[in-house]
Amino acid sequence: MTESIYIGRTILPQLQQVLQNLAFSKVAVLVDENTLHHCYPLVKSHLPEHDIIQINSGEEHKTLQTCEYIWQRMTELNLDRWSVLVNLGGGVIGDMGGFCAATFKRGMYFVQVPTTLLAQVDASVGGKTGIDFHGLKNHIGVYKEPHAVIIDPTFLNTLPQRQLKSGYAEIIKHWLIADATAFEEQRHIGLFTENWEALIRHSVGIKSAVVEEDPLEAGYRKVLNFGHTVGHAIESYLLEQPGRELLHGEAIAVGMLCEAFLSVKKDLLNRRELDQIETFMVSIYEKVKITEEDIQALSQLALQDKKNTRSTINCTLLQGIGKAVWDQPVTLAEIQESLRYYQLL
């Protein structure tokens, strides 16, 4: 785990010290209306003098247009390369704020303060920044490590159950790709925990270890994409259908089931293991209704996935629970088949 990731319930007071270590010129805090209301009050007293940049919440605002607004505000506030942007929020704030900071005057400081479980165990670690573009998830972005990540489980108290479940999907993913023992324990315990801090620390540990070995996703880092080929496609597709939008983790939960099915089909996972995953996931996540028409349309989106090469769909699959293999070619027909499997669950 990189030294710049701080985890704990008493970590916020260290924020001021972390910033001071950067010898910053100015500080701005990026929030949306939710984090301004629920999270900013917890952070405010631990920040030096600062300005606020507020945007609208939601994946539908993770766009170039919002970046233009953020860059404009940064310019008005006279931020320079030695200023710090504190990204206070979930994955959208972290990804987009990180991208805006990484590109403003060719790069200023930024610090991630993730406030959702999803952002704490996934988006804030690993240096991926970006925005959606014409309906394609994280289509434009850069790799850039934040200068620090401050993870305080206290924020989770403000989070609706649906948001917690969404983040929990990435925790499950980390078990499935890297820790069979933890999965075995948890699938008997069932949903959730009394000790978020320990769970987050374990999950961030898995992700950090992967990222450290392969920061630019040349190979090994792709294990983290398990569930994301089908998951991103379904997420992008339903984002365009008012009333049907899924949270990221909800889409990844569907994607993991589909891709576990594909793992069985490719003889990498056995049927008993798939059953265990199925039972555990179905106990936590509501079924997402998809029609045959949906399957036709959303499987096309899998062709635009960033992980693909030369029009082959590359998928990360499970080689038994606790291990993943990447760049597994799958066909459009197989993607559709996996969605029909999910449909029939």
How many residues bind to a copy of itself according to rule CB under 8 A?
Answer: 35
Scan residues 22-51 and list those touching a copy of itself (CB under 8 A): 25
Can residue 291 be called a binding residue for a copy of itself (CB under 8 A)?
Answer: no
* Neighbouring-strand partners of residue 5: 149
Can residue 138 be called a binding residue for a copy of itself (CB under 8 A)?
Answer: yes
In the residue annotation, 221 being an active-site residue is answered as yes
Find, among 163, 322, 345, the residue nearest to 254 by Cα: 345
Does residue 196 contact residue 156 with C-beta atoms inside 8 Å? yes
Tell me how far CA of residue 259 lies from CA of 123, 236, 263, 273, in angstroms. Answer: 21, 17, 6, 13
User: In 10 A of CB 261, how many CB atoms?
Assistant: 24
| Catalytically annotated residue among 128, 137, 147, 174 | 128
Can residue 75 be called a binding residue for a copy of itself (CB under 8 A)?
Answer: yes
Tokens of 74: 């940064």
Find, among 157, 183, 166, the residue nearest to 280 by Cα: 183
Can residue 141 be called a binding residue for a copy of itself (CB under 8 A)?
Answer: yes
- Complex with a copy of itself: residue 272 or 310, whichever CB lies closer: 310
Tell me how far CA of residue 177 lies from CA of 33, 205, 256, 268, 334, in angstroms. Answer: 35, 13, 11, 13, 21
Q: Specify the pairing of strand 313-318 against strand 324-330.
A: antiparallel
- Complex with a copy of itself: residue 81 or 340, whichever CB lies closer: 81
In the residue annotation, 174 being an active-site residue is answered as no
Options 10, 17, 106, 194; binder of a copy of itself; rule CB under 8 A: 106
Q: Which stretch binds a copy of itself (CB under 8 A): 130-138, 255-263, 286-294, 321-329?
A: 130-138
Find, among 126, 114, 328, 118, the residue nearest to 230 by Cα: 328
In the residue annotation, 188 being an active-site residue is answered as no
In the residue annotation, 106 being an active-site residue is answered as yes
In the residue annotation, 232 being an active-site residue is answered as yes
Annotated catalytic residues are 106, 128, 170, 207, 217, 221, 225, 228, 232, 248
Contacting positions for a copy of itself (CB under 8 A): 25, 64, 68, 71-72, 75, 78, 80-82, 102-107, 128, 130, 133-134, 136, 138-143, 216, 303-304, 306, 308-311
